[in-house]
Chain A
Amino acid sequence: MKPARFAYTAPDTTEGTLDALDRFGDEAKVLSGGQSLVPMMNFRLARPEVIVDIGRVGGLDGMSAANGTLTLGARVIHARLEAPAVTTPDGRSEPLGGVLGSLLPAVARFVGHLPIRVRGTFGGSIAHADPAAEWCILARTLDAEMVALRRGGERAIAAADFFETVFTTALAPEELLAAVRLPILGDDWRTGFCEFSRRAGDFAVVAAMTAVRLVPATGAIAEARIGVGGVAGVPVRLGGAEATLLGEVPSADLHAAAAAVAAGEVDPVGDLHGSAAYRRDLVRAMVARALAQGAGSLR
């Protein structure tokens, strides 16, 4: 459990990082919090020739809200999302309110254990692309946009295109994930997140996130998003279950119906921690519970 030999570089700037990535291409790996990469290297499942440590790069750990978008710098550590605060244009820090202000902490506490949350980063989790990772499920459910930089270029990648398969994303070897943009959900949204893991802090066996937008006048569901992790190589959206919700007023029966559709929609593969059938069973339970969490009526 000693890593294979590697070279190490720790640029101070984004430019320096992009230069290094450009130069070493797929021989290089970005090191952020190291909470996934270092274990993989110790098991020799990852054997990068060059480690580009972005821990000294300034400007990658900001959080700001503007124009309906919350931008999270890739180096924001998980722990900061337990009590998220944004920097205002005039440089002040203020707590993030609203629906995301409650959702992010509710999700963050499921990410590993405290020592992992104070090192591991939001962007690292997204780039690592574990299909059961909470932030990947969140990104997929809320249709986040990943901001990728390369020398002389920038592009935004939609979550639907970003996660390709287990531990594989649309990021090119030369690209640095700089930030993730989340849509700020208005007060007419209701969200829920529920996961089942074998022990506290473990990756979820199955996790589900739901977000529904209610029509204030009727309380009926105008928009619905259901994302689950632990059932495929990437976090998935369950369009069929989402469709069952549209136009309906939330109720226990409706949630059960949507959860049943959700369970039928996934095609999980089994492993040590749960067979395919059990995971499908869990999808039903997690989706129903997440929907129930978000069932509060509008103020």
Chain B
Amino acid sequence: MGDPDGGRARSLIGESVLRLEDRPLLVGEGRFLADVSFPDELHLRVVRSDTAHGLLRGVDLGEVREAEGVVAAWSAEEVAHLGAIEFRMTGFDELRPHCQRVLAAERVRYVGDPVAVVIAEDAYLAEDAAELAFVDVEPLEPVLEAWSPEAIAPLTLEHEHGDVEAAFAGAHRVVELEAAVGRHSGIPLETRGLLARPVDGDGQQGNRVELYGIAKVPHYNCATIAAMLDLAPGQVVGREGHVGGGFGIRGELYPEDLLVTYAALKLGRPVKWVEDRREHLLAANHSRDQSYRVRAAVDGAGVVQALDAEFFCDQGGYVRTHGATVPNLSVALLPGPYLVPAYRVRGHIRLTNKTPAGTYRAPGRFESTFVRERLMDAVATACGLDPAEVRRRNLIPPEAMPFDRGVSTLSTPVVYDSGDYARLLERLLDHIGYGSLRESLAERRAAGEMVGLGIGMFVEKSGLGPFDDVRVRRTEGGGVEVVTGAASVGQGMETVIAQICAEVLGVDYGDVTVRHGQTDMIGRGMGAFASRVTVMTGVAVYLAATELAATGRPADATFNADHMTYPYGAHAAVVSVDADTGGVTVERYVVAYDVGRAVNPMLCEGQIIGGVAQGVGGALLELFSYDADGQPLATSFMDYLMPTAAEQPQVEVLLSEDAPSPLNPLGLKGAGEGGTNACGAAIAAAIDDAIGRPGAVTALPATPESVRSLIRGAVTRRLPRPPEVKQADRADLRTHLSICPRAPL
């Protein structure tokens, strides 16, 4: 392992030190968006469509403007010049016509689609006044299934390598299945929000605007807002505060961000918007919602020689900042840790009348892992092999590393940088005592219980580039200051960055102050997403601190990376099922995860355990469902069910460092998403085992009702056979992908 500390006895890198972030939170100094206030601030309320699909005949704000405390009220006309919100990632021209404008004009496309804003003296008056808006919509039939022939079909992602046809022609057997993951998303406990405050700059009054509540990608968002408002990049300043959870969805650029900033500049007063929970469940990015049909060509030894997959991705009403990121990741990572010499996939992006979708922790992987691992279980059943054995036979061996998958994602070729997948699997199996555990579960089943074990394996991705900058200097009084364009979404990045810096400089990590998310402190920055910060910012700070140590002078460093790193993992779940109710209890949950090198094992474990909570939610509980009119049914925490402490299993984490990344001097890989990735897969397999019906669970979440009907012998078929899709404008994945087309590099 690339050891920067040479002969030093004890390395800070690798120590589970306490989080620097915790003190302010524990002593009541947390400053989340809602905590920030300025005198004279105004409050914005969004008027949203309550029709899923319809022609917008007009928005009458007459009464609204007369209402007490109202300062301004606008519909699409007033903000038409702001345009539509562009892609931050994975943009395709075919998707561009479906970008969301800041306020809907002509047509509404989902319940929650913003149609007007009201700005008033306080949040109560704003909400009162917003009720007076008359939104004239002529309803149209909503489209609620991605495979519906009525769904707008802008783009199909395709990829093929190896001789798929030949593999199927010569297959010993072909194993097929259909499987689907329901619509759910990251639900940060701090809802979205923004406070825009005009300030003086360059000697001019109100020449700049500061944004509080900005998160995840502050530089990108500020630059994009500036461009959309016709301002110079430096005129919009990001002031990242504490952030109560990101998970992919928070911090993307949304219509509200533009509206709030525009309102503040137009009205010359601070304008604040704090999303309420109902809005959040209607308006912030949803995710998942992919339906697959897959088949495997299997040889006589149970080795998959080819994988042929088609899936539908329910994008909702618009394409937001992530462009085709999620289906693109599904395409790239569906084959996972297995050799799969030939692979063909078609991923259809479809627009429906639901909330627009984007990334959520392990985007495209929670879904594709579920499907792939269901397929491996089906192969095991078909071949009469043990599920662990079938995986062993298919895993990419360590000597094949680095392993070129022959596919790209996020503008980078997928080349697994390092890994010993079989070793990790054996570690997991040893830990749970695979053989004896299976026996004891069989005994319990013989005694009448419904209990079972499931495993799932996967390859994650992390450390997305292309760059990160860091500036390091010593401050008066013996401290060290690190300035970075990365962001904190609560994941502990300050601690990890401080650990790496302190390790190099030989100081206490508590003496290191990490400044992030302040766009006027550093020229550019990539923010925090895709499990990238520990790798990218971590290595950049390592380089800068090394230079500072050598020269004694403040140092800048940039770490560039055009490849991602690929951590990998294996999950095991033991569940018990209540035969009468279909209720599932996760009795035991184990995650083995190789992160190359753990800067702070405690934080890695925390990431994994939190990730499992979200994975368990997606596997068993969380679902954005809609009625036949496209009305969302899960619009509060009464109906959108996240696991509580009572449902969350005690997670056993086996953190491993077998395979440091060769792509960076510290060997780092990210730890953010491995806890979530295979939860659906492992829990589904465990339910099958418990109820004695291999392959029964093909849809998530596995609700008690669905499990009960499986116990009663029902067969589920998720996808009505869709018509064969003819796609005129097929896009070749490899030539089309562009990362951050508008990133301010």
Contact = CB atoms under 8 A, between A and B. Distances in A.
A201 B633 CA distance: 20
A289 B581 CA distance: 12
Contacts of B131: 44
A278 interface: yes
27 contacts: A1-B127, A1-B277, A1-B278, A2-B123, A2-B124, A2-B127, A5-B124, A43-B636, A113-B644, A196-B583, A198-B621, A198-B641, A198-B704, A199-B621, A199-B643, A200-B644, A200-B647, A202-B638, A203-B638, A272-B634, A273-B639, A278-B704, A278-B708, A282-B581, A285-B581, A288-B580, A289-B580
A231 to B, nearest CB: 15
Q: Which A-B residue pairs are the 7 nearest by beta carbons? A: A200-B646, A285-B580, A1-B276, A278-B705, A2-B124, A2-B127, A272-B633
A201 B708 contact: no
Contacts of B646: 199-201
B128 interface: yes
Interface string B623-639: 00100000001101011
A34 interface: no
A282 B705 CA distance: 10
Interface residues of B, number: 27
B641 A202 contact: yes
Given A201-B646, A278-B705, A272 B581 contact: no
B708 A199 contact: no
A39 B276 CA distance: 12
Contact of A201 (B276, B625, B639, B644): B644
A143 interface: no
Interface of B: 123-124, 127-128, 131, 276-278, 580-581, 583, 621, 625, 633-634, 636, 638-639, 641, 643-644, 646-647, 704-705, 708-709
Contact of A199 (B128, B580, B625, B644): B644
Q: How large is the interface on A (under 10, 10 to 19, 20 to 34, 35 or more residues)?
A: 20 to 34
Nearest to B275: A1
Nearest to B623: A272
Contacts of B709: 278
A281 interface: yes
B635 to A, nearest CB: 9
Nearest to B124: A2
A296 B634 CA distance: 42
Contacts of B621: 198-199
Contacts of A199: 621, 641, 643-644, 646-647
Interface string A1-34: 1111100000000000000000000000000000
B76 to A, nearest CB: 25
Contacts of A285: 580-581
A4 B633 CA distance: 23
B123 A43 contact: no
Nearest to B68: A5
B130 to A, nearest CB: 10
A251 interface: no
A196 B124 contact: no
A219 interface: no
A272 B625 contact: yes
Contacts of B127: 1-2
Given A1-B277, A43-B278, A113-B644, 8 more contacts: A1-B278, A4-B128, A43-B636, A198-B641, A201-B644, A273-B639, A278-B705, A284-B580
Nearest to B647: A199
Nearest to A288: B580
Contacts of B124: 2-3, 5
Contacts of A4: 128
A221 B580 CA distance: 26
A275 interface: yes
Nearest to A259: B580
A173 interface: no
A274 interface: yes
Most B Cβ at <10 Å: residue of A200, A203, A272, A288: A272
Contacts of A281: 580, 708
A286 to B, nearest CB: 8
Nearest to B712: A281
Nearest to B706: A278
A113 B123 CA distance: 29
Contacts of A274: 704-705
Contacts of A289: 580
A110 to B, nearest CB: 12
A4 to B, nearest CB: 7
B495 to A, nearest CB: 31
Contacts of A113: 644
A284 B276 CA distance: 39
B563 to A, nearest CB: 42
Interface string A177-202: 00000000000000000001011111
B644 A275 contact: no
B314 to A, nearest CB: 18
Nearest to A203: B638
B45 to A, nearest CB: 9
A201 B645 CA distance: 11
Interface string A199-210: 111110100000
A2 B45 CA distance: 11
Contacts of B128: 4-5
Contacts of A3: 124
A196 B581 contact: yes
Contacts of B644: 113, 199-201
Nearest to A3: B124
Given A1-B277, A4-B128, A196-B581, A272 B639 contact: yes
Among B276, B277, B581, B636, which residue has the most Cβ atoms of chain A within 10 A?
Answer: B581
A284 B638 CA distance: 25
Contacts of A272: 625, 633-634, 639
Contacts of B638: 202-203
Nearest to A273: B639
A61 B708 CA distance: 43
Interface string A140-159: 00000000000000000000
